[in-house]
Amino acid sequence: MTQTASAAAKFPPPAPSRFSESGSLAQDLVEAYLAVRSETERRAAPLSAEDQLIQSMPDASPAKWHRAHTTWFFEQFLLGEHCAGYQPFHPDYAFLFNSYYVSAGPRHARHRRGDLTRPAAADITAYRRHVDAAVVKFFRSAEHDTLMRITPLVEVGLNHEQQHQELMFTDILHAFAQNPIPPAYDPAWQFPASTRKGEDWLTLNEGIYAIGHAEESFHFDNEKPAHRALVGPVKLARNLVTNAEWLAFMQDGGYSNATLWLMDGFAAASKEQWQAPFYWREIDGQWHIMTLAGLKPVDPAAAVCHVSYYEADAFARWSGKHLPTEMEWEVAARADQLNDAFGIVWQWTRSAYSPYPGYRAIEGALGEYNGKFMVNQLVLRGSSLATPEGHSRVTYRNFFYPHHRWQFTGLRLADYSV
């Protein structure tokens, strides 16, 4: 028993809604595990071995690496710690496929993941099958008490893999966008249509509101402790900012007007020559955007996507509005009053990614999951078109650096003139 195992037992508590405490717990675990694992393979299926190798920038990882790393997570933290007699599939894979867990040992350089022509994609498929068979066998043979103890860890592993499923889309899109004859991941894929219902603005009256995850169901540690916060008065835009609105910002010189921008933001925009959202290209006077279906005309009615925090902040200033805080977003989303809170674009908030009052990272390797990133990043709320089914929550805190653009990121506005 290591620090990791004891930490895993506390992180987070079991989820009674998903895994029953009846005799079918083993079967519930098997089904949940295989469902998530097969979704990863479904997402990888359209990708050739060459597609799976590419790392088009340091922030993106090869699809093959995502498939292997998520497998290593179960091998390292579940089988390695809890399954007596388990032998790792390959002695070098822990080094190759550990991401950032210092406690779990040395690891391959993050920006060199695309150099790994070997192991081949087919080897990773064999690795996944080996670990899947071992995990299923373990679930089916373990004592009920053991299953109860490892359930929280399995939940973390499954949610971790779902996070990488989203990254598989964002990362392959970035790679395909570098190709002068941009390929389609799925020619039939369509950007989700926005919802329009209700008034344009939702008023939140001043009050003390519940924030954070208060239940026992699955959550990441950064969603706790639940606490109370003063919110409002404020109006939140019920709708996501659209491409048409963004085009108006562009046509008004938004990208070149330094007074609209944070200093770091304008420096990034100037250095990188930003003139439109990431993946936008002007062809014969018409804006196009690189999507999972290839290069498509920009739809004015669709939500703007692939904008950085810096751009979102400048747009808000140009609009005479602001970005909401994550607390304001959560209060409005809890009331189910925001159109497209989930499923199209993650929404930038102006809240720094910092710990909730009283937060402490758990001990052991899994304490590295979230806590050590709580500086210099901004919180995004909601979920995106790439987020897997069942992975969204009103308390979910995503986070990226303010210059990041390759995720499916957009925004909605806040207005304090109430």
CA distance 241 to 337: 16
Instruction: Report the distance separating Cα 173 and Cα 186, nearest Å.
Output: 11
Question: Could you tell me the smallest distance in angstroms from the CB atom of residue 104 to Fe ion?
Answer: 11
Residue nearest to Fe ion (CB): 99
CB atoms within 10 A of CB 253: 10
Residues 70-109 that bind Fe ion (CB under 5 A): 99
Q: Of 56 and 99, which CB lies nearer to Fe ion in the complex structure?
A: 99
Q: State in angstroms the smallest separation of the CB of 113 from Fe ion.
A: 12
The least CB distance from residue 166 to Fe ion, in Å, is 11
DSSP 273-334: T--SSTTEEEETTEEEEEETTEEEE--TTSBP-S--HHHHHHHHHHTT-BPPPHHHHHHHHH
Q: Between 5 and 104, whose beta carbon lies closer to Fe ion?
A: 104
Closest to Fe ion by CB, 57 vs 244, is 57
Question: Judged by CB, which is closer to Fe ion: 12, or 410?
Answer: 12
- Please, what is the minimum distance in Å from the beta carbon of residue 164 to Fe ion? 6
Q: How far is the CB of 132 from Fe ion (least distance, A)?
A: 18
CA distances from 104 to 3, 94, 116, 361, 382 (A): 11, 8, 21, 16, 31
> How many residues in the shown chain lie near Fe ion by CB under 5 A?
1
Nearer to Fe ion, 77 or 266 (CB): 77
Cβ nearer to Fe ion, comparing 324 with 364: 364
**CA-CA distance, 31 to 18, in Å (whole number)?**
11
> In 142-191, which ranges are continuous DSSP H helix?
144-177
Supply 297's token pair: 């005309």
Q: Which is nearer to Fe ion, 7 or 234 (CB)?
A: 7
How far apart are CB 354 and Fe ion at their closest, in Å? 21
Query: By C-beta, is 168 or 231 nearer to Fe ion?
Result: 168
Is the distance from CB of 219 to CB of 184 less than 8 angstroms?
Answer: no
Q: What minimum distance in Å lies between the beta carbon of 156 and Fe ion?
A: 11
Q: Tell me which residue has tokens 């990863």.
A: 40
Instruction: Give the CA radius of gyration of the chain.
Output: 22
CB of 99 to Fe ion, least distance (A): 5
Name residue, tokens 């409005």: 332
Instruction: Kindly list the distances between the CA atom of residue 15 and the CA atoms of 8, 20, 29, 32, in Å, as whole numbers in the listed order.
Output: 14, 8, 12, 12
Site string for Fe ion, 266-305 (x = CB under 5 A): ----------------------------------------
Q: Is residue 412 a contact partner of residue 241, using CB atoms and an 8 Å limit? A: yes
Contact footprint for Fe ion (CB under 5 A):
99
